[in-house]
Structure 1
Amino acid sequence: MKEENTLNRLDREPVGKAFVRYLIPSVVGMLLMAINIVIDGIMVGNRLGSIALAGVGIATPIYTIFLAMSLWIGIGAATRYSFAMGAKRPDEARIIFSYAIISIFILTVIIGLFAFLFRTQLAYLLGANADTFPFVSGYMNIMILFGFVLTVENAFSILVRNDGGPNLSMIALVATSLVNIGLNYVFLFILDYGVTGAAAATIIGAFVGIIILSSHFFKKQSNLRIVRFKFERKVFLLLLVIGFPSFLSEVGFSVFTISHNIIFERFAGTAGVSAFTILNYVHSVMLLLFLGMGAAIQPLISYYYGAKNEEKMKKTVRMAIGTSVGAGILFFLIGQFASAPIANLFGDFPEEVMTLAAPGIKLFFIAYLFMGTNFVMMTYYQSIGQIRIATWITASRGIIILLLLLAIMPPLFGLTGVWLVIPASEFIVLIMLFYYQRKLNS
């Protein structure tokens, strides 16, 4: 009986082959997930209009926070899991998996129940107004109550990928996306459930993903098992520390969304929020594609680090940076030449919305020239346990510099300044990273 051991395969497989083997399913899976998000927006915008789309956009940070929780524990656990496998300690890896799945379920159920008690205050805190509140509330309440399904599915997917199952993770993402798209159509256009139906479709899709991922337990080469373990505070805190940059990255996306919703409301009213929501849907696609690149290298870097193979680590990073730069140039060109068609996908909106969205996409897409490299370097440092620098990259690009520029640029340049905040933030972080690496290697 021949049993292919993932751990041995990475030991003997060339870096380029391993990189492509993980990159293709990760990016394809994230691409389908991104298409799923865009189709969500297109269906809501076309069926319910620009105000409903703005309401869903305002409620999006709830989804993002749950995703952040799953990445916090999921990436932290996955990094230690692959490190343990690279160091030939599979029993320790199983304990880490058990910690991750059980803790993410308990934590997100508690958070969801607590948030539901203050759901009205939370909706207004996120930026809802009299026009958008019914849509914010309808979408947000489903996400709060059943967000634990999203977190378990995403953390599970990350760990399956780290256990040598990138293709199964991709299949689960494909199924999740197809179920979500199909149910969105049924709930919005046939049953007329409104934004509540759109949220429910997302949750049901994630549940289907969990069922598919569970098949990994029955594979001969699988090391994943839920095992009995004694809770150790030190181990749990280690997972939280390692995964913190990923959590902070998603929190940064929530900060970005909330702060921009507030600024656009102030400068351009509900039309401005609708225009930004269109951009934010498209931006989610690009972020997920970059996240797919990070998801491809994290298992490899963590494994090679555990196996003490520095040469393979360096080759992997070089390949990832080259891939992300190429993707960034492609995204930038798409934004420059297809901004109006992209904006028109989301519905026949008033002219005031479209005249804001199309130029905004052109300006905002400049960020993708720099963003991919920042993502790769953050993932690299996180995967080798250099959490301080990984946290610095994430906090700088997603929160600190963003908020500083948001306070400075809009008063000086108006709406143009708002659109350019993220490109400027990403460029500044890239320059700082360049000097840090130069100093490190001198």
Structure 2
Amino acid sequence: MTEISLKLRKTPVTKLFISYLIPSVLGMLLMSINILVDGIFVSHGVGEDALAGVNIAVPIFSIFLSISLWIGMGGATLYSISLGRNEIKKAQSIFTQSFVLAILIVGVLAILSLWKETELAYFFGANDRILPYVLDYLHIILLFGIVFVFENVLSIFIRNDGNPRLAMVGLIITAILNIVFNYVFIFVMDLGISGAAYATVLATFVGFLVMITHFWRKSSTLKFVRLKFEYAIIKQVMNIGFPSFIVESSAAILTMGYNITFMQYTGELGVKAFAVVNYIHVMFLLLFLGVGAALQPIASFHYGAKLYERLRSSLKLAVGTGILFGVITLIVGIIFADFLVSLFGIESQEVRDFTVKGMGLFFISYLFLAYNLVYAEYFQAIRNIRLSITIILARSIILLIPLIWLLPMFFGVNGIWLAFPVAEGITTICLVLWNRSRSPVPQIA
């Protein structure tokens, strides 16, 4: 039995969860601050139209990340389950196949997207005024997007190999360098919106190089082996990881849906306001994804090892932590809305007022979002894929898309902001009722 397996079996559950939670949340917090600073630099250094342009181009970034999460989380879950069963060689083969598969899929997608770049920008919601900014940012992300896959997939597997601290360090370095590079490229070298894209790519690459040092650890089980694609493994990886793909890609759907609806009802005023809210939303959203990321390796291992009581305790800790974060985030969003918006240097008082009001409505979603995401991640970790997908689809597509279209008819512009909280709230109610009707944790046979 490996050193990692012994640690996961013997460490008290609360201590074990905290040892994964702190690095995961801190790493995500720094990444979220990094995203916020990115928006602030673009807004101050290039202008409000540029900020709107980045927000419209962001879905391609979300799509790349969603694919890396799809393969990364699917492979890492299977990896941890195999470790729980003490199947070391199988775990290493799963890692190798997953890493190469993610690169191949994103590589093909990037080439196809570069071919239809302008059409893609319009599809994401660009208009003629914002299009040049969208294309400047989009082109660089498409050319070098594979770097995000390198870092993200490796980070996920490193956490599952018992080294969440290194994953955190990689994210910290990425965040710090992105801030430095943004300042240099935008304000010193005057590269405009292209500078923001180059800063993100270069910082991510350095973070990836830091994470490679994990392979030098003596206790590391993670390593590349001879590549041999196995249909059964690939099918399981893609099946298990599909909920993660939906979570991240739904962020792109949310962004596109809101941009298109705001453009229809308010024009560029709404798009600029949502760009700010969305930057802040992504910042806080990463905290909840950090809670799920901390739970996943623990849940997958204990599920594979059939340690169901420890699994139940881990789930309770994660749900309680997520709900606490949700309440704190809502309070911060309401009390400090004006301050957060002011960070972006929005000069128009009309845009600022509209953004502050919208943020107060949009942030109601955090009362429910944590509960939904933690359970979706948990069910994915124990291979209850159908239920995980149901939760994610309900909150992000099945309910959200119709609500973005319907609520403005009855509540005007406020209805657009409220679509996301209402979708999350309905999903939570249904999930609570489901959990009361049956146990979410497997029973000991």
Same topology, TM > 0.5: yes
| Equivalent residue, structure 2, for 1:42 | 40
| Equivalent residue, structure 2, for 1:126 | 124
**Contact in 2 for aligned 1:374/1:393 (Cα 8 Å):** yes
Aligned with residue 315 of structure 2, among 303, 314, 317 = 317
Question: Distance between the aligned counterparts of 1:251 and 1:216, measured in 2?
Answer: 29
User: Do the aligned partners of residues 142 and 21 (structure 1) sit closer, same or farther apart at CA in structure 2, a change above 3 Å counting?
Assistant: same
**Contact in 1 for aligned 2:38/2:182 (Cα 8 Å):** yes
| Equivalent residue, structure 2, for 1:354 | 352
**Contact in 2 for aligned 1:49/1:349 (Cα 8 Å):** no
Q: 3-state DSSP class of the match of 1:164?
A: coil
**Contact in 1 for aligned 2:362/2:421 (Cα 8 Å):** yes
Residues 270-323 of structure 1, C-alpha deviations (whole Å, 9 max, x = no match): 111000000000000111000100000000000000110000111001001111
Letter in 2 for 1:334: V
The 5 Å alignment of 1:15-164 reads 15-164=13-162
| Equivalent residue, structure 2, for 1:9 | 7
Aligned with residue 207 of structure 2, among 180, 203, 209 = 209
| Equivalent residue, structure 1, for 2:443 | none
User: Do the aligned partners of residues 434 and 92 (structure 1) sit closer, same or farther apart at CA in structure 2, a change above 3 Å counting?
Assistant: same
| Equivalent residue, structure 2, for 1:385 | 383
Cα displacement (A) at 1:402:
0.2
Is 2:423 the counterpart of 1:425? yes
Aligned with residue 240 of structure 1, among 230, 238, 241 = 238
| Equivalent residue, structure 1, for 2:372 | 374
Cα displacement (A) at 1:86:
0.7
Aligned with residue 299 of structure 1, among 288, 297, 300 = 297
Letter in 1 for 2:158: V
Letter in 1 for 2:393: A
Cα displacement (A) at 1:30:
0.2
- Runs (4+) of structure 1 exceeding 6 A deviation are none
Residues 65-115 of structure 1, C-alpha deviations (whole Å, 9 max, x = no match): 000000000000010000000111111110011011111112111110111
Aligned with residue 269 of structure 1, among 263, 267, 270 = 267
Letter in 2 for 1:173: L
Cα displacement (A) at 1:267:
1.2
Question: Distance between the aligned counterparts of 1:228 and 1:210, measured in 2?
Answer: 22
Question: Distance between the aligned counterparts of 2:80 and 2:347, measured in 1?
Answer: 48
**Contact in 1 for aligned 2:376/2:392 (Cα 8 Å):** yes
Question: Distance between the aligned counterparts of 1:209 and 1:342, measured in 2?
Answer: 27
**Count of aligned pairs between the two proteins:** 440
Cα displacement (A) at 1:230:
2.3
| Equivalent residue, structure 2, for 1:410 | 408
**Contact in 2 for aligned 1:45/1:346 (Cα 8 Å):** yes
Unaligned runs of 5+ in 2: 441-445
Question: Distance between the aligned counterparts of 1:263 and 1:404, measured in 2?
Answer: 12
**Contact in 1 for aligned 2:74/2:237 (Cα 8 Å):** yes
Question: Distance between the aligned counterparts of 1:100 and 1:206, measured in 2?
Answer: 20
274-283 vs 262-271, greater mean Cα deviation: 262-271
**Contact in 1 for aligned 2:80/2:91 (Cα 8 Å):** yes
The 5 Å alignment of 1:249-264 reads 249-264=247-262
Question: Distance between the aligned counterparts of 2:347 and 2:381, measured in 1?
Answer: 44
Aligned with residue 331 of structure 2, among 322, 333, 337 = 333
Cα displacement (A) at 1:348:
3.3
Question: Distance between the aligned counterparts of 1:168 and 1:189, measured in 2?
Answer: 31
Aligned with residue 278 of structure 2, among 277, 280, 305 = 280
Q: CA RMSD in A?
A: 1.1
**Contact in 1 for aligned 2:63/2:252 (Cα 8 Å):** yes
Q: 3-state DSSP class of the match of 2:162?
A: coil
Unaligned runs of 5+ in 1: none
**Contact in 1 for aligned 2:273/2:351 (Cα 8 Å):** yes
Residues 19-41 of structure 1, C-alpha deviations (whole Å, 9 max, x = no match): 00000000000000000000000
Residues 16-61 of structure 1, C-alpha deviations (whole Å, 9 max, x = no match): 0000000000000000000000000001001111111000000000
Letter in 2 for 1:313: L
**Contact in 1 for aligned 2:261/2:405 (Cα 8 Å):** no
Cα displacement (A) at 1:4:
7.7
Cα displacement (A) at 1:164:
0.5
Cα displacement (A) at 1:437:
1.1
**Contact in 1 for aligned 2:97/2:228 (Cα 8 Å):** no
Question: Distance between the aligned counterparts of 2:348 and 2:10, measured in 1?
Answer: 58
Question: Distance between the aligned counterparts of 2:295 and 2:143, measured in 1?
Answer: 33
Question: Distance between the aligned counterparts of 1:97 and 1:144, measured in 2?
Answer: 25
Q: 3-state DSSP class of the match of 2:113?
A: helix
